[in-house]
Amino acid sequence: MFTIEEACLVVVDVQGKLATIVDESEAVIDNVSKLVQAMKALEVPILWLEQNPSRLGGTALNIAQHLQGQAIAKMAFSACQEQEFVDALKASGRTQFIVTGIETHICVYQTARQLKEQGFEVEVVVDAVSSRTKANKELGLEKMKALEILPTSTEMILYELLQRADHPHFKTVLQLVK
């Protein structure tokens, strides 16, 4: 089970026009926003990434308004190829990574794969990832599952982290997923 003490949320490239044209974009942006807000309440670290932000734009406002600090800019498709991300990963001290974002078959897949190859526990939030086409999203999810990167959902991972209905932040999370 993923725990509040070991988990870290990785938000991959939910930015610019691309965020608005991926399959089921509104639901994806909404679910990523819920995850970010819940992680803040639970004090779970968040690493957020932007692919070539000078060309693709910044993180979607519905998500960015809940984030603190700066995004980690990257040019590599896998965040694990960027030293700033590697440093933030080490600084987090976490061993469990919840991966969300776009595009499932490119940056999400490559980042999740390399996190798994480094020995971390990795899960991908299937209702908070997408690609421009549903087929590419499904292909990315299939390849990750073959690598034992397990699927989860926004609600499932949040309740897994809470573990109990009497958790001090249960009502906060409940309001987000309602």
CB 176 within 8 A of CB 37: yes
Average pLDDT, the chain: 96
132-136 contact pairs (CB < 8 A, 24+) = 132/18, 132/21, 132/22, 132/23, 132/103, 133/23, 134/23, 136/103, 136/104, 136/105
Judge whether residue 3 has pLDDT over 90: yes
Span 152-167, pLDDT tens digits: 999 999 999 999 999 9
Kindly state the tokens that stand for 57. 């734009």
pLDDT digits (tens, 9 = 90+) for 18-71: 999 999 999 999 999 999 999 999 999 999 999 999 999 999 999 999 998 899
Token look-up 């998500």 returns: 63
Question: Which residues are 48's β-sheet partners?
Answer: 11
pLDDT, tens digit (0-9, with 9 covering 90-100), for 111-131: 999 999 999 999 999 999 999
Report the distance separating Cα 94 and Cα 4, nearest Å: 10
Please tell me the distance from the alpha carbon of residue 140 to that of residue 19, in angstroms, as a whole number.
17
